[in-house]
A and B are shown apart, each in its own frame.
Chain A
Amino acid sequence: MGSASCEHVAAFKSLYRLQPLHILHRKLICPHSEFFSREAISLLKCMLCRSRRGKHRLHACLHCVFIGCFEKKHLHRHQKATGHNLSIDLTFGNTHCASCRDYVYDDDFEKVRLACRNGHRNGIHQNLPVWEPEKIDLNFLGQHAKRLTVDGRSTLGLRGLVNQGNTCFMNVVIQALTHSPVLRDYFLMEKHPRCSPSEISSCIVCEFSQIFQEFFSNENSNPMTPYRLLLLVWRNSEYLAGYEQQDAHEFLIAVLDMIHERLQPRIEGGSIDLTGHAERSIIDQVFTGYMQSNVVCNQCGNISQTIDPLRDISLDIPQVPSASLMDCLSKFTKKEQLGNASKINCKKCGKRQESSKQLTISRLPVVACLHLKRFEQTATGSRSKVATPVSFPKTLDMGPFMSSARNTSLSPEFCDSAHYKYELFAVVNHMGNLQSGHYTSFIRQTSSWFRCDDSLITKASIEQVLNSEAYLLFYHKKSIRF
C-alpha cells in the first residue's frame, strides 16, 4: 500500500499550507450559503472557452486564480505556460497532479475536502456521506478479515426453525420476515437500541433482533427454536395463545401490529405520543399501503371517497378453471353494485340511493403481502379449505389496480409503470385440510430460492415455487434491488 499522495503536493504544502485549498472548497466546490452559491455560479466557467458543462470537467488551479476545462485541454495550456501542476476538480474536489498525471489523495487535503463536503451536506439535510475510510478504519478492517455477504451460494441468512408443537404457522412467518427487504436491514443495522434488562423479556423488537442475529451471524447451522417469541406472543394476544394450529395470516398481522405498537414513541410516563410528529415505525414504512374506496351514487354520480391504511390485501379466489393472481386482484378492484338492500346515503341527493363501490390501491407499500382467502366460513358456520390452484407470477405489475389507473383523464405515459413492478420473494403454503394441516414456505435470497419446512432448509427451483398452492404471497418493489 504505497502512499496515495505525491512529492509535488508535499512541496506545495510546505510553501503555501492549506489556505488556498480551503478557499477553493468553501467558495467554489461546496459553498455553504445561498450567497456563496450564487457567487460560485458566476465564476464556474472555463476562462478560455466559457464552457460550463460538467462533461468538460472544470478544474481550478491551486497556484493561482485560473479555471479551465480538462476535456478541451484549456487547463493544460495554462499549466504549460505557468508550470503550475496542481489543480482541483470543481465537481468532486479531488486534487490532480499534472507531474504525476493522476489524481492524488493527500491526508491533509482529504481532511479539508471531507470537512467542507460534510458540512455542506448537513446544511441541505443530506446526512449520508459516501464511505471514504481513513487509515484508522483501514487498520481496523485489516485486523478483522472475516467477511460475510448474503448471496445465493452461501448459507448466510438461512436457518431452520424447530416445530415446538403445531407451531409451523409461526415458523413460516418468521422465515418471510427475516427475508423481507428494508425490514431485514433495519434489524441488521440495529436501528432499535436494545432495551434495558428489565424490559428486554417483554420487548418483541429485541426478540426479533435476536432472531435476525441467529439467522445472519453464521455461527450455528443447527435449527433454532423461537420459544421466547412464542411466549411473548401468547402474553400479548389472548386469542393466539394455546397449543393448537393457528392461521399463519392472523399470526403475521398480530406480529406486525405488536412490533409497530412497541415502536410507537412514548412520552414521559409511558403513554404513546399521539402528536403525530414522530417518524413512521419500520412496520408502517415497509408494509403499510393505502386503499381507496369510492362509493358512487347511481342517481347523481356523486363520489364519496375514503382512504384507509392496509398492511396486506385479502383476496377472494374466483371459482374459474385456471384462476390467476391477476384474476383475484381484478375481482378485488372491480366496480360492484351494492344493490337495493344496501342503499347508501348520498350527500348530494339528500337521501339513500343505490350505489356502486370500487376499491383501488392509492399507495403501494414497499412489501406487498397478498393473502389468498383459502379458509372460508360458510353460511352454515362450518369452515372449509378452498384448495383451488391459483397461478402467480415472479414479477407482478400492480399498475392496473392503482387508483391513478382508474382515473381516465390521465394518459398512459403519465403512469410511471416502473414504480408498480413487484418481485416475489416469499411464499407461504398450507398443505392438507383444516383437520390436519402443515405450513411450509419458500424464500428467496438474491436469485436463489429455498424451501423451509420447519427445521429442514433445502435448495428449491423457481418452478417448484411457482407450482405451489400459495396461501400468502410476498412481493417487494422492484426498484429496491434485493
Chain B
Amino acid sequence: MLSRATWVNDECKAILDDMIFTETLDIIFQVHRAARKGYLCELYPEDNSSQKICTELGRDVFGHCQNKVQKFSEDIDCPNCARQISTTRFAPHLEKCFGKGRTSSRIASQKISSAEFSFPTHGGHTDAPDDDDWQEKKKRKRKKDGGSKKAKKKHIESDASKAAEHNREHVSFSSSYLDEKTSKRKNLKKKR
C-alpha cells in the first residue's frame, strides 16, 4: 500500500516527466515541419556573407594594415557650420565652432578684452593663434614660397607656433582645466 508521500512524489515526477517530454516534442515538431516544408536551412541559418576575421600579425580583424587603420581619417561636413573638417580634428573644431568649452570661451573673452589681436605673422593676420585653418593656409603658403630667406623665417615661426599648438592639444586633464571642470561638475550635481 503506497503512502501518501510516495504517491505525491510519484505524481510530481510524472508531471515533470511529461513537461520535459512535451517541450522536447515541441522542438522536434518545429524541425519536422521545417524539413517537410523545405525551410530547415532557415531555422538555424549559417552566415554566408560576413567576412571572416583576420588574425594576421600587423593587420586588424578586417585585414587592413594596422598602421594605415590607426591613421585613417576622412572629411565630413560639420553639422554646425557645414565646413569640411577632417574626422580626427573634429572635436577641437567643434569646440570653436560650437562655442562651448574652455578654448572657445578663452578666445572669445580675449577677443573682447583686446581690440586688435596681433601675432608675429606676415600679412597682418588678426586671427586667433590656434585657428586650424589659418595654420593650414600658412603651411600651404610656406610650401609655395620655397627656399627664400623670408620664407625660412616664416617657416621657423610657424613651426614654433605649431609645436605649441601640438603640445596644448595633446595634454589631457591639465591641472587648471581640471579644477574648473570639477567645480562645474559639482555645481551641476547640486542642481540634480
Which residues from chain A sit less than 8 Å from chain B, CB to CB?
Answer: 1-2, 4, 53-55, 57, 91-92, 94, 102-105, 130, 132-133, 138, 141, 145-149, 151-156, 158, 160, 162-167, 201, 218, 221-223, 225, 227-228, 230-231, 234, 238-239, 241-245, 250, 377, 381, 383, 434-437, 448, 450, 454-459
Among B53, B64, B102, B185: residue with most chain A CB under 10 A: B53
Residues of B close to A245: CB separation below 8 A: 172-173
Please tell me which one of the listed residues B21, B26, B48, B53 contacts residue A146 in the complex, with CB atoms under 8 A apart.
Answer: B48
Size category, B interface: 35 or more
Are A141 and B39 closer than 8 Å at their CB atoms? yes
Docked complex Cα distance between A381 and B182 (Å)? 10
User: Given the interface contacts A156-B47, A218-B51, A234-B94, does A1 sit within 8 Å of B69 by beta carbon?
Assistant: no
Across the interface, name the chain A residue whose C-beta is closest to B187: A239
Docked complex Cα distance between A280 and B71 (Å)? 42
Interface of B is mostly: helix
CB of A379, distance to nearest CB on chain B (Å): 14
Docked complex Cα distance between A241 and B29 (Å)? 57
Q: B86-106 toward A: CB 8 Å interface, digit per residue (1/0)? A: 011111101100101111000
Docked complex Cα distance between A238 and B192 (Å)? 14
Q: A94-B33, A148-B49 are in contact. List 14 more A-B contacts (CB 8 A).
A: A53-B18, A55-B21, A130-B30, A133-B42, A151-B47, A155-B62, A162-B73, A162-B87, A234-B100, A238-B100, A239-B185, A244-B181, A435-B172, A459-B61
Please tell me which one of the listed residues B19, B38, B50, B182 contacts residue A377 in the complex, with CB atoms under 8 A apart.
Answer: B182
Among B21, B25, B69, B171: residue with most chain A CB under 10 A: B69
Residues of A close to B188: CB separation below 8 A: 238-239
Docked complex Cα distance between A166 and B29 (Å)? 55
CB of B40, distance to nearest CB on chain A (Å): 11
Asked if B137 is at the interface of the complex by the 8 Å CB criterion, the answer is no
Asked if B148 is at the interface of the complex by the 8 Å CB criterion, the answer is no
Residues of B close to A4: CB separation below 8 A: 33, 36-38
Residues of A close to B61: CB separation below 8 A: 155, 158, 450, 457-459
Which residues from chain B sit less than 8 Å from chain A, CB to CB?
Answer: 14, 17-19, 21-22, 25-26, 29-30, 32-33, 36-39, 42, 45-53, 55, 60-64, 66, 69-70, 72-74, 76, 79-80, 87-92, 94-95, 98, 100-103, 169-174, 177-179, 181-182, 184-185, 188
Docked complex Cα distance between A104 and B37 (Å)? 10
Across the interface, name the chain B residue whose C-beta is closest to A221: B62
Across the interface, name the chain A residue whose C-beta is closest to B90: A164
CB of A225, distance to nearest CB on chain B (Å): 4
Q: Return the 6 tightest CB-CB contacts between A and B, nearest first.
A: A242-B101, A245-B172, A154-B50, A165-B91, A1-B38, A54-B18
Are B49 and A147 closer than 8 Å at their CB atoms? yes
CB of A444, distance to nearest CB on chain B (Å): 14
Docked complex Cα distance between A228 and B98 (Å)? 13
User: Given the interface contacts A53-B14, A221-B51, A234-B98, does A455 sit within 8 Å of B69 by beta carbon?
Assistant: yes
Are A138 and B103 closer than 8 Å at their CB atoms? no
Residues of A close to B74: CB separation below 8 A: 222, 225
Are A244 and B102 closer than 8 Å at their CB atoms? yes
Are B72 and A148 closer than 8 Å at their CB atoms? no
Docked complex Cα distance between A448 and B55 (Å)? 12
Are B45 and A230 closer than 8 Å at their CB atoms? no
User: Given the interface contacts A151-B47, A153-B53, does A230 sit within 8 Å of B66 by beta carbon?
Assistant: no
